[in-house]
Structure 1
């Protein structure tokens, strides 16, 4: 049982009382022994009680001290780290459907692999998470508003269709707009729920241009997300050698790791690289754990109190067995 802290650590001062009891027990035991040796007829004592108990006579007292120690620890309210599901978070899953996603450098295609991994991510997400979906190519389309229902998100992922261009910045702005609209509805007295964007793309921004510092560009959108405390988890998906055929001509469509890494940094999020379908599944699995669960310090006093109770019963039992009395 690992401990990470205490709710009421001042109860640990009772260990001074436990220590005093140990010192007192030792002093009383030694004093009793001296009196016995002073006034007893040793030859008669050996004949009357030849089988005097040795160290076993101290067992009930030792168990009682252990029980008191465990009770003291339990009353101090020990805590332990525990993984608990989140209930009020909003997550926008943003998936690139530009023509580069047709590349077969990831089998069967980038898009098919992305659909399979995203579907697993959605199905495994903690039930309390509000999950929405946006697809983007030349424009961004909000397919599903944040919801705890997963069936609609899965159907939308299954029906993703390819289109021209890559408007990464517009996709991030659209995700923030969806989060703002949902937060207005469910905010309440506790304020808006925490939010995150999961952005999966395989190429460079091309709309409104290739400059991510454009007012509607990816870097500007990432800075705005940071101001709103909406971190972006970016997934750079694909390889450097991916190609697609456009108008009968083979075009190289390498991933843009640097841009995805910078978007994550500017927004306060994290960057992930996936060069295969298996790697993409692992990335989504990691994000599912990070987003769907949080680590909290939970009360861990019950095991110590239960153990203390069992040891106390053992102390009473051994006292009756050895000394024919309760300690």
Structure 2
């Protein structure tokens, strides 16, 4: 019935508005008493000189504005709530970090793996504390090193403990990441499942396991975007068993994964640009409506009405030259 009214944090205080009809009755009674006094004063010429050229509308406007100010103050006292769009504070982020031998390349200082771990930590630190974050190691035998949790200390220790390993099974790592999402705490009754995303940090060269296409299709079906960050340079190399091998990143492979799942593909040739890529990825989270106090708006309205009422009172009291 009153959909135009906001919600209130302290609705019981709205009972103070019942004083408004009482004040109106008092005002009407005073008007009638004033008329009776005016009728007893028969010399209207002298009366006009005494009270000045008051206009009835000025008096009514001043009183109306004073009453409006009291109404606004009463509403402000009840702590009205407005609706604002705020970043969703529930989300599950799966960090997939490539730990294959190619990550020891030093074309990104101090090495691809150490740069990835450092920048992943910076990104995690900027996430809201309520986000559940998990860690998956990408190598020939991908595994969940940290299930979804808000324990940032444990996550940091798991990230720092990542070591180089043989092989790169991107499809298996994506499967592990999707499985980790299911390990996140269930939503409360009536709440929708928290949104999830995967951040895949790799040089993009799949060498083990099945073709990643099947795992990518599963992520797309479950509406989990995979954001990829390919880093390294075309001149990157590693020395394995005394043999120098080129490990140029496979940008095309990572871009296909992102496009197929509705994610974004980024490149980062240095720690600084990698950090920028992570900051951009934060914008992928949605927003939700949140109730917040808007008491100040009603307080300012009350002040505005009070100022108009005061000006009206001044106009009634002043004797303007004719």
Equivalent residue, structure 2, for 1:186? 186
Identify the match of residue 321 of structure 1 among 311, 314, 320: 314
Q: Which residue in the other structure is 1:294 paired with?
A: 287
- So what's the TM-score if we normalise by structure 2? 0.71
- The yes-or-no answer on 1:198 pairing with 2:192 is no
Relative distance call for 1:301 and 1:123 in structure 2 (3 A) is closer
Which residues in structure 2 correspond to 1:138-149 (within 5 Å)? 138-149=140-151
Give the 5 Å matches for 1:264-283: 264-283=258-277
After superposition, the Cα gap between the structure-2 partners of 1:275 and 1:296, relative to the gap in structure 1 and judged at 3 Å, is farther
SS in 2 for 1:261: helix
Q: 1:169: how far off? A: 0.7
Which residue of 166, 169, 173 corresponds with 1:167? 169
Q: Is the 8 A contact 1:85 1:126 kept in 2?
A: no
CA apart distance, 1:90: 1.4
1:220 corresponds in structure 2 to 214
Matches of 1:111 and 1:265, distance apart in 2: 25
Q: 1:188 to 1:300 in 2, by over 3 A?
A: closer
| Contact 2:238/2:244 (<8 A) preserved | yes
Q: State how far apart, in whole Å, the 1-side matches of 2:213 and 2:292 are.
A: 43
The separation in 2 between residues aligned to 1:148 and 1:80, in whole angstroms, is 27
Partner of 1:100, secondary structure, is helix
Tell me how far apart the structure 2 counterparts of residues 166 and 113 of structure 1 sit (CA, whole Å).
Answer: 18
2:14 is matched with: none
Deviations 1:241-279 (A, max 9, x none): 211112222211111111111111111222222111011
Alignment of 1:23-102 (within 5 A): 64=65, 82-87=85-90, 89-102=91-104
Counting matched residue pairs gives 267
Q: Report the counterpart of residue 300 of structure 2 in structure 1.
A: 307
Quote the Cα distance in structure 1 between the aligned partners of 2:165 and 2:116. Answer: 15
Cα RMSD for the two superposed structures: 3.6
* Aligned position for 2:31: none
Deviation at 1:127, TM superposition (A): 0.8
For the Cα contact (< 8 Å) 2:84–2:292, is it kept in 1? Answer: no
Distance change >3 Å, CA 298–CA 274, structure 1 → 2: farther
TM-fit CA distance, 1:79: 6.5
Structure 1 residue 287, shift from structure 2 partner = 2.6
3-state SS of the aligned residue for 2:201?
A: strand
Q: Deviations over 1:95-142 (max 9, x none)?
A: 001111111111111111111111112222211111110101111011
Q: Which runs of 4+ in 1 moved over 3 A?
A: 7-11, 77-85, 187-192, 288-291, 293-304
What is the aligned partner in structure 1 of residue 133 from structure 2? 131
Partner of 1:111: 113
Which stretches in structure 1 are left out of the alignment for 5+ residues? 1-6, 12-43, 209-215
Which sits farther off after the overlay, 237-246 or 99-108?
237-246
